[in-house]
Chains A and B, each alone.
Chain A
Amino acid sequence: MIRFTNCRQGFMAALVAVVFTCHGWAQEASIVIEDKVAGLVPIHISGYTGEVDQTLKFDLEVAGFVLVAPDKARYTLTGKNGTQVEGTLADSARRAVLARSYPGGTPRAQAHSLSDDVVQAVTGRPGIARTKLAFKHETGKRNQHNEMVSEIFVADYDGANAFQLTQDGTVSRSPAWQPGHRTLFYTSFRPGRPCIFSHDLATGARSPISNFNGMNDGAAISPDGTKIAMVLSKGGSPDIWVGNVDGSGLRQLTSTREAESSPTWSPDSRTLCFSSSEGGGTRLQLISASGGSMRPLNIGGLRGATEPDWSPDGKWIAFTRMGGGKNFEIYRVDAAGGVAEQIGEGEDPSWAPNSRTLAVIRRQGNVRKLSLLDAFTKQPKDVRTISGSCGQPSWAK
């Protein structure tokens, strides 16, 4: 049960408990809110070296842990790495919560497996250390058409094992996974103008999906894997269109005079959320994927909302707020509408499968860095393994 040690903590605990209980996360809340460091779970890690040590620490910091001295720790993780990674997780009463060894695979993979088990043991939910991200990557070079060359990459969620998927030497952008498949959709200018392709990662085969005049961008595949939402301007304005995942059976969902962008699906594949400039400013709108009219999502009166992303558990919509200028803020709002809460800085949020972590882009001078943001604790963790500028992360689900 929840124990309160002081008044301020008690208030915070009560507040958080109400919020989390509403969403059926009471068990997790009882763990998170007992911590004294702004919801972070204090852990001490010892016995590991090199890549395994770094990997474990990165994974657990992303998952909402904070590394502390042994006497401050709620949990201690001790073990070693060599031919295999071994780990014992104990709570503050020195009861072993987990004791496991990880043979086979690379040391990095072994470390990811251990941290996923630690996250599962502490939070009751699966870890994300073995998931993958797709993103756009700019080398900073321009091609003969004066375009900033960008290519699509796929990497481990921490940026390791990055693989360059496209080699088009032009603008490639807006990667989106087909849920449940190892297939990416993205826009490439390879044909001389923007075209949406699907790209099967297993075979390397890619097929044109949308190749109309004007804009073909913002592909988003429904969670059931069968439908594609896109932004097309063939009707004379950037509008939301929906079709089968192969591009057939297209249907125009919006027909405003202003621009729509960044469609995202509800987990039941029945509703879309997107950003629209209709009516001045930008706001988030909802529409049934089978047609009808759009209706605004209540985000508590915030202006400049773009780039919505619907969490896989259906509870949240994360979005970017443009406050004017180059600095952007990440918010999340209940998918049913309400007061939006700022959870960090950055743009283009993409939810992890755990509906808790977000991949975002943070601009630092001329460079755009991939960063992982924990929506619960608001703790950001920059991915440092990738040089150059990244953009438009899409978390594989």
Chain B
Amino acid sequence: MQYSMKRLLQVGLLGLLAALAMSSAGCKTRPKNVTALPGSEARAGGTDLPAGKPLPSGGNTGNGFAGTSPGARPYNPNNTGPGVDLPPATDGIDKPIGNTPLPAGGFGEGRTEDRETLKANVVYFEYDKSAVKKSEQIKVAAVAEYLKSHPDALLTVEGNCDERGTEGYNLALGERRALAVREALLNLGVPAASVSTVSFGEARPADPAQTDAAYAKNRRAEFVLLPANAAAVR
């Protein structure tokens, strides 16, 4: 009895998402203006520095956080979600996208994170790529529809990478993935002020195993909803 109820709910949810996605399938991607890079210029020459000095001796002390009061984050249940292995799709790779500035100023401060509502829409990426594949666009469309029907809600897109890249590179790649998803949302009519991004690089693997299947689950963007009124959600 319990099982069939759950099953019914799942089917119903999937149907709703599919309907939402189809309703937005007609949207076309806007071409973006691209600023051409100017020509090259001469580099300033380097000069020698005096030899390095050891630090003064003495203990490193203090862990105070003067000048800032970083607030603790509200608790949210873990969301590792069942990942799926992706076929080696080649669609939609490297589609150029424009740069739309992120919202300025505070974003969703004081709001409670909701990782549940949109958890079925995790967007997966090809190795070393940040383009949103065609197979993933239905998920982005579902998120866009949700946001358009909840205009007070804000959204953070979290970009993640597998570990097969240097840390420095993966931080930027994760952000690039989050920004690519954001751009796709904006192309579907979501206001730019509603969506921000964050990159975890390789610091938050969905599956820490060192296998191709795990890597495929880790190359992803997750959606964190910031509802206007936390109590109204769910």
Chain A, range 328-348, C-beta contacts under 8 Å to B: 328, 335, 347-348
Return the chain A residue nearest B35 by Cβ: A255
Return the chain B residue nearest A278 by Cβ: B37
Q: Give complex CA distance A147, B205 in Å.
A: 8
Given A271-B43, A391-B167; A203-B51 close (CB under 8 Å): no
Stretch at the interface among A69-77, A79-87, A228-236, A370-378: A228-236
- By secondary structure, the B interface counts as loop
What string of 1s and 0s marks CB contacts (under 8 Å) between B183-211 and chain A? 10000000000001111110111001010
Q: Is A270 interfacial (CB 8 A cutoff)?
A: yes
Count B-side interface residues using an 8 Å CB cutoff.
77
What string of 1s and 0s marks CB contacts (under 8 Å) between B29-67 and chain A? 000001101111101111111011111110111111111
Q: Is A314 interfacial (CB 8 A cutoff)?
A: yes
Given A203-B66, A259-B172; A313-B49 close (CB under 8 Å): yes
Q: Is B80 interfacial (CB 8 A cutoff)?
A: yes
Tell whether, in the assembled complex, residue A204 and residue B67 are in contact, meaning their CB atoms are under 8 Å apart: no
Which residues of chain B are near A233, meaning CB under 8 Å?
102, 175, 179, 197, 199
Which residues of chain B are near A278, meaning CB under 8 Å?
37
Given A258-B176, A314-B47; A167-B63 close (CB under 8 Å): yes
Chain A, range 99-146, C-beta contacts under 8 Å to B: 105, 109, 125-126, 128, 130-132, 144-146
Q: How far is the CB of B35 from chain A (nearest CB, A)?
A: 6
Q: Is B23 interfacial (CB 8 A cutoff)?
A: no
What string of 1s and 0s marks CB contacts (under 8 Å) between A137-167 and chain B? 0000000111110100010000000010111
Which residues of chain B are near A353, meaning CB under 8 Å?
51-53
Which residues of chain A are near B167, meaning CB under 8 Å?
173, 307, 347-348, 361, 391-392
Q: Is A256 interfacial (CB 8 A cutoff)?
A: yes
Tell whether, in the assembled complex, residue A147 and residue B176 are in contact, meaning their CB atoms are under 8 Å apart: no
Q: How far is the CB of B2 from chain A (nearest CB, A)?
A: 27
Count A-side interface residues using an 8 Å CB cutoff.
105
Q: Is A226 interfacial (CB 8 A cutoff)?
A: no
Q: How far is the CB of A62 from chain B (nearest CB, A)?
A: 15
Q: Is B79 interfacial (CB 8 A cutoff)?
A: yes
In the assembled complex, 28 residue pairs joining A and B whose CB atoms fall closer than 8 Å, in A order, are A128-B54, A144-B76, A147-B204, A173-B167, A173-B203, A182-B60, A190-B70, A192-B70, A201-B61, A201-B62, A238-B172, A255-B35, A260-B172, A267-B49, A268-B44, A270-B44, A275-B168, A277-B173, A280-B94, A282-B169, A293-B40, A306-B169, A307-B167, A314-B47, A322-B169, A354-B52, A361-B167, A366-B210
B residues lining the A interface (CB < 8 Å): 34-35, 37-41, 43-49, 51-57, 59-68, 70-71, 73, 75-76, 78-80, 94, 96-104, 107, 130, 156, 163-169, 171-173, 175-176, 179, 183, 196-201, 203-205, 208, 210
